[in-house]
Structure 1
Amino acid sequence: MKRATPQPIVKGFSAESVLSRIMASTGIRSQSELARALGIGRQAVTDAKKRSHIPADWYLFLCRKYGLNPQWLESGMGPMYVAGNSDAPAALGSGTPGAHPEEFSYVPKVRARLSAGGGSLVVEEAIDSYYAFRHAWLKRKGQISQMRLMRVSGDSMEPTLRDEDVVLIDLSQTEVYTGKIYAVGIDEEIVVKRLDKKPGKLVLVSDNRQFYPPLEVTLHEGSNVRLLGRVIWMGREVL
């Protein structure tokens, strides 16, 4: 089963202040000029300002073209630009200005959480923020448009994944490879587990096997189990 596409509207901040930051950071001097840069009609900019709703694809286009930090553009917090010189993923706001913006792609972090022993969680896909990764690195890993970032909740995948880690999931990778880590939907819960296969069944394996034994789930038409995608990267904050 395919998951719904996140709503293409970023809310929670004044559209007028966002538009001001766009103009301050890009050299765009008017709403008409912004509309031309985005390839839209001027009325669309006026409407966005009135509704205080900025479409997410505007953020993506402007951030990629001008090398802007999406977090700064949306909220005014953090560095104005995204930068970095390595081939590894680059978190938002890292480094100093000067990176070529075309080197980066921006992956949405959604509010859905992956349960790793922390209990049932309601599935949401509202966009919470964006992370910048080097485009070439993402392209080698999978289908960029189908990638999402989610936060882990619980301890069943320790020591590999810890509570509050952030993981990058490619929703296009749904073929099961034994031992790889996947996001799996079960009813209204999303779990993150290593997978094994048996005839007509998936085996969900936790790395913390002392407290979380393997779980076998049956696959059939109308099943409440759906394979959402493969985990291809993880990041950890020092709290």
Structure 2
Amino acid sequence: MPAKNIWSRIGLLQEGQALTTYCRQVGLNYQSMKKCSQRQIAPDTKSLVKIARHFRADFDWLVTGEKNSNKLNLQLGRKIKQLRKLRSWSLNDLAEKVSVNAKILELHEKGHMQVSFDVLLDLAKTLKAAPHEFLIEENAFPVQTPELKIFQATSAKNAPKLRQEDYVSIPLTESSIAAGQPIIQADQIEDYVLLHIRAAGKRKNLVASRVDGGSMEPMLHSGDIVVIDRDDKRVSKNKIYAIFHEDGLTAKYVERKKNLLILRPINPAFDVQIIELEEHPAPIIGRIIGAWKEL
């Protein structure tokens, strides 16, 4: 491994601190690190692991210096920067709040470094956003309107003529909303669902998904398609919401009591779930406004 380059990255994290102070904070052997620094040889692997963990940096970046600018990291970086600027925080402000070195956070925002799961959770809590929101691009649904063909039912001989502009196309995601135990959502579009403008109203931020689970039976069954208004997150009585909980999506009746969000199923065979909002500040994805099902 190129020792000189490793020491340039160690120095970047050191930020002008004396080596004695640096070693004491990180838990490194000062004499060993001093010898490596003077000879410009790489520290041992155990020391490098300690440095990466202390500064919450990616170990591969520390060792190789290579930028991991894949699509996911670039999307995460854009979202982190966007949410930070919405709160008028500087890079140093956010870095201090989440206990991440400012240089590391800058690399995250540029999409050059992988964001660890624990850092993502801290960012989500501090920026008051659900973790999955960092993975969704703005205006991602839908980018293009698919070609639509609308047919008149043979039973509606004298009904008004149907027009394509009377319908809204809503993206149907491949992954399901768990109406029982939450599952992991894949941010992909499987198909499009048509909803008449009278039902959609002025709602714009709509997405559809299939229900998987039995906690909301008999109202919702596994395989039913539900439409979610992602702009409607205000808790109302007797309304069903899509919730991000335990690394997945679930559909439930919702109540809020102080700092607790209570998720109530319809099916008595399923337990009530409770979310502490101080730990998970933004679990509501949106209100479920309708469903399509076979009888």
**Alignment TM-score, normalising by the size of structure 1:** 0.59
Structure 1 portions without partners, runs of 5+: 10-55, 70-80, 86-97
**Alpha-carbon separation, structure 1, partners of 2:242 and 2:249:** 7
- Please say if 1:218 is aligned against 2:280: no
Give the structure with the higher percent strand. Answer: 1
**Alpha-carbon separation, structure 2, partners of 1:124 and 1:228:** 15
**Alpha-carbon separation, structure 2, partners of 1:219 and 1:208:** 25
- Please say if 1:227 is aligned against 2:284: yes
**Alpha-carbon separation, structure 1, partners of 2:170 and 2:151:** 16
- Please say if 1:179 is aligned against 2:247: no
How far residue 224 of structure 1 moved from its aligned partner, in angstroms, is 7.1
Which residue is 2:189 aligned to?
127
Which residue is 2:203 aligned to?
143
Q: Residue 122 of structure 1: SS of its match in structure 2?
A: coil
How far residue 131 of structure 1 moved from its aligned partner, in angstroms, is 1.2
Contact 1:6/1:125 (<8 A) preserved:
no
Over 3 Å counting, the alpha-carbon distance change for 1:112 and 1:7 in structure 2 is: farther
Give the structure with the higher percent helix. Answer: 2
- Please say if 1:5 is aligned against 2:137: yes
What does residue range 2-41 of structure 1 map to in structure 2 within 5 Å? Answer: 3=133, 4-5=136-137
String of CA shifts for 1:63-82, please: whole Å, max 9, x gaps. Answer: 5xxxx43xxxxxxxxxxx22
**Alpha-carbon separation, structure 2, partners of 1:191 and 1:173:** 16
Structure 1 runs (4+) deviating above 6 angstroms are none
Contact 1:195/1:202 (<8 A) preserved:
yes
Structure 2 portions without partners, runs of 5+: 1-128, 154-160
What does residue range 46-85 of structure 1 map to in structure 2 within 5 Å? Answer: 57-58=143-144, 60=145, 63=146, 68-69=147-148, 81-84=149-152
How far residue 237 of structure 1 moved from its aligned partner, in angstroms, is 2.8
Q: Residue 57 of structure 1: SS of its match in structure 2?
A: coil
Q: Residue 160 of structure 1: SS of its match in structure 2?
A: coil
String of CA shifts for 1:75-134, please: whole Å, max 9, x gaps. Answer: xxxxxx22358xxxxxxxxxxxx63221111011011211122x3421212011001122
RMSD across aligned positions (CA): 2.4
Which residue is 1:109 aligned to?
172
1:83 partner letter: F
Which residue is 2:223 aligned to?
164
String of CA shifts for 1:180-226, please: whole Å, max 9, x gaps. Answer: 100000142101000111111011000002x1132221101x52761
Over 3 Å counting, the alpha-carbon distance change for 1:213 and 1:108 in structure 2 is: same
Over 3 Å counting, the alpha-carbon distance change for 1:100 and 1:120 in structure 2 is: closer
Q: Residue 283 of structure 2: SS of its match in structure 1?
A: strand
Which residue is 1:18 aligned to?
none
Number of residue-to-residue matches in the alignment: 156
Q: Residue 125 of structure 1: SS of its match in structure 2?
A: coil
1:170 partner letter: D
**Alignment TM-score, normalising by the size of structure 2:** 0.48
Which residue is 1:44 aligned to?
none
Over 3 Å counting, the alpha-carbon distance change for 1:179 and 1:198 in structure 2 is: same
1:236 partner letter: K
2:166 partner letter: E
2:233 partner letter: T
Q: Residue 137 of structure 2: SS of its match in structure 1?
A: coil
